[in-house]
Structure 1
Amino acid sequence: MRNVLIAVVDSVGPDSPIALYHQLRCLTDYQADAECQLQVERLPCAFKDSLTVLEQLINQHKPSHLMLLSQCSSQVDIRVEKVALNINDAKQNDNINQQPRDTLTAQHGPAAYFSNLPVNAITDKLRSNNLPVQLSYNAGTFVANHLFYGLMHYIKHQNISLHGGLLQFPLLPQQACLQPGTASISIDVILNAVKLAADVCLAHSDNMLRSTS
């Protein structure tokens, strides 16, 4: 059984009923194929300890794929992120009031990592299903990028067979209504996007296995 881990960075806090994590829990009932299970977990929107929690989840679930999901109030469409930057430069506090400015996620790491998810295929699949999506080369400099970079750094240095990356979404309507003028996207669209992305990841892995056998 393969596990696809969906790790949700929730900026509104774990106890809020409008937190994205709570809306995505139903994905655990979705089975992409007979040998795959989706797992949904929450990550703290905090620079401190967030990577430790992420590593614990990887060790717990031992996923074949890990998709980080986050939201950004400035976005108007789904962003499939290709590049993780080795920089933390928060314009606002995280959920535990940290605001690192111009610091590094890994002191001796490279300037950037690329996602090893099939980002172009995911983007094409979502677009062909009439979802608003863009391939993005800038994941920002906040917690989501910090986790994305940390994930790819962990994969490289632990030499593990794990495919990882980041998808970013606009706010849900019940979140956006608290910030007038902010774009929103329905939970049904997000659920569909995540399912399609998981399907693409698994199909891509199966194709790679067949091509090397």
Structure 2
Amino acid sequence: MKTILLTGFEAFGGEKINPSLEIAKALDERETETYKIVSFELPCVFGEAIDQLRLALQEVKPDIVICVGQAGGRSDLSIERIAINIDDAGIPDNKGNQPIDEPIIKEGPAAFWSSLPIKAIVKHLRDAGLPASVSQTAGTYVCNHVFYGLMHEIRKSSIRGGFIHIPFLPEQIQTRPLMASLPLNEMIRGIEIAIQVSVGYEQDLLLEGGQTH
């Protein structure tokens, strides 16, 4: 049986809710014949988020790690391909930190690839009727910060990991009528599919997932 570490973030940017945390709570302790899920909440704070993730890794000793974060404005479940070694915050984090053009890990590589089967995840999500795509950027805020920190922490281990961005919830766009959203139950279903695929696929599928712009 595989142990899955699933993380979500506290609310940030003036929001009262973060769907990534609601997903993590909903799936915490879910167990099947092939995997069990352990969920953790991460602070939306540079530095502290990686510290808490490191503690979770030590406590849970997972086989697979999936970190989830909100990306308001996106219209689908975005399976991230790459984490880059830069913090460049457009807004302060929840403790007022706003690093600009700072490396996440000094002397670290420019980037890390996700080790999740990202193309297979997208295929299975679409087959299930959910909007999904491979994303070529996780941004430069706390989500990318955690994604890079995760891949740095597990780089010499057999643990596989990656990051998934999710849209707003419908209740978050009441004053943003042009923004996309997904119901919470659909996002929960999508993340569980991503977990199932990550457990089932040791190697990714060779499918298109690139972008021309």
**TM-score of the pair, normalised by structure 2:** 0.88
Match of 1:197 among 194, 197, 209: 194
Q: CA deviation at 1:153?
A: 1.0
Q: What is the rounded CA distance, in whole Å, between the counterparts of 1:183 and 1:104 in structure 2?
A: 32
The answer to whether the Cα contact below 8 Å between 2:12 and 2:93 also exists between their aligned partners in 1 is no
TM-score, L = length of structure 1: 0.88
Alpha-carbon RMSD: 2.0
Q: Which structure 2 residues correspond to residues 1-213 of structure 1 after superposition, within 5 A?
A: 1-12=1-12, 16=16, 18-20=17-19, 21-28=21-28, 30-31=30-31, 33-156=32-155, 159-205=156-202
User: Which residue of the partner structure matches residue 209 of structure 2?
Assistant: none
CA distance in 1, matches of 2:167, 2:112: 24
In structure 2, what is the Cα distance between the partners aligned to 1:148 and 1:203? 22
Q: Deviations over 1:188-212 (max 9, x none)?
A: 111111110111011114x89xxxx
Retained in 2: the 8 A contact 1:85–1:111?
Answer: yes
Give the CA deviation at 1:27. 1.1
Q: Structure 1's 87 and 72: CA in aligned 2 closer, same or farther, altered over 3 A?
A: same
Q: Which moved more, 1:3-12 or 1:19-28?
A: 19-28
Contact 1:10 1:70 in 2 (8 A): no
CA-to-aligned-CA distance 1:26-57 (integer Å, 9 cap, x gap): 212532x3242111111111103111100000
Q: Which amino acid aligns with 1:169?
A: I
Please report how far the alpha carbon of residue 12 of structure 1 lies from its aligned counterpart in structure 2 after TM superposition.
Answer: 3.5
Write the deviation string for residues 97-152 of structure 1: whole angstroms up to 9, x where unpaired: 11111110011111111000111111111111111111011111000001101111
Please state whether the residue corresponding to 1:149 is helix, strand or coil.
helix
Q: Secondary structure at the match of 1:106?
A: coil
Structure whose residues are more often helix by fraction: 1
Deviations 1:60-111 (A, max 9, x none): 1111111000001121111000100111111111111111111100111111
Distance 1:44 1:178 in 2: 26
The secondary structure found in structure 1 opposite 2:3 is strand
What amino acid maps onto 1:110 in structure 2?
P
State the identity as a percent: 32
